[in-house]
Structure 1
Amino acid sequence: MLLISANVADENAVKGFVDATVEKFGKIDGFFNNAGIEGKQNLTEDFGIEEFQKVVSINLNGVFYGMKYVLKVMKEQGSGSIVNTASVGGIRGVGNQSGYAASKHGVVGLTRNSAIEYGQYGVSIKAIAPGAIMTPMVEGSLRQIGGENWEEVGKEFVKPNPMRRFGKPEEVGYLVAFLLSNQADFINGVVVPIDGGQSYKY
């Protein structure tokens, strides 16, 4: 086992954990690019420039750095699977989240572009697009909206969802485990929503 803490917005830190992994295990079979933040909610005109840059540096640059160094390893070994975490905010607008939406749309584009480039080397690259999954980040978002009444805001938030609930982190985990497995090797370049069907609802 190898456990490394790193700031994904720091290219050298990302290169460091990739190099350390290869040094210990000799290869990288799967890579889950999952680190991300939402940032503060605001209208685009009021969205702080530093806040925008911070969100993009983690959510998009971090994904790029990871892929940049992991793809080199996977190309050389002739196999591998990458799953990037996008968001329903990466396939449609969500409002008040300029940095988040821009970064997650970027993740989708990076996923599709790289999948076309690296499929010939036996590498499959996919993205997931979670909706409202009850994680600390989503709780933080609800607290931004509702303060101490965030749980009531959450109940209203999920009413439009066909399944009338938040998703569970383990449900996302099951999907990622499948997409990283060799059972999903021929799935490439896709973005898989996991949102209870909400993104398909008019």
Structure 2
Amino acid sequence: MFNKSKINVIHHMVLNNGTGLNPVESSTAQNGASGSHSIRSTPNANEIPQNIQNVDKPSTSKTDTNNRDFMPFGSRPGEKLFILTGTVERVIHWNKLLSKQFCYFEVIAAVVSIQEGNVRTQKIMLLRDRTGPILQVIYYMLTHLAIEDFHLGKMIRCVGKMIGPNILNAVSIRDASNDEVESLHRLTLISEQAVSTHLKN
């Protein structure tokens, strides 16, 4: 046999089905009218543990701010990476013109001397065209070297970054192929045109 109070609650839920109240809200309203403890469908924020309340809060630490501000090189206006191929004389000249740009230089020239460096494991190789200035190439024991039958006057290819008016910090040194030596003049003209175009813009 049904309890009369239960029948009234069910009847109240059916009548309020089209008013937007869900069964939990209807039952809550009925219990509130009878003086019993009310049921909340969602907990109060004050009752949520502190460690749970802070889960979705964005971090404002200095480290996070720096990470958001980080942008890869080349994504900002004016940032360009240059890799230019040329003779000793042109590389020294380009380095003066592009002092504010990040550049790698590929130099193809003859070795005129090798000297000990100022620090341990450091070597200094001097390169020169047939005439003109001398380029100091600094390298270390860990620098990539691929030179066979080394001798003064040998044509080699060095790649690195200029760290002074006539000083190149090499990351790779190897023999220059015959094709590279023969095409050096053409590659120098192409790089010269690229530098001129950049300076005009």
Which of 1 and 2 has greater Rg?
2
| Shorter-chain TM-score tier | under 0.3
**What's the TM-score, normalizing by structure 1?**
0.25
Decide which structure has greater helix share: 1
**What's the TM-score, normalizing by structure 2?**
0.25
**Higher RCO, 1 vs 2 (CA within 8 Å, ≥6 residues apart):** 1
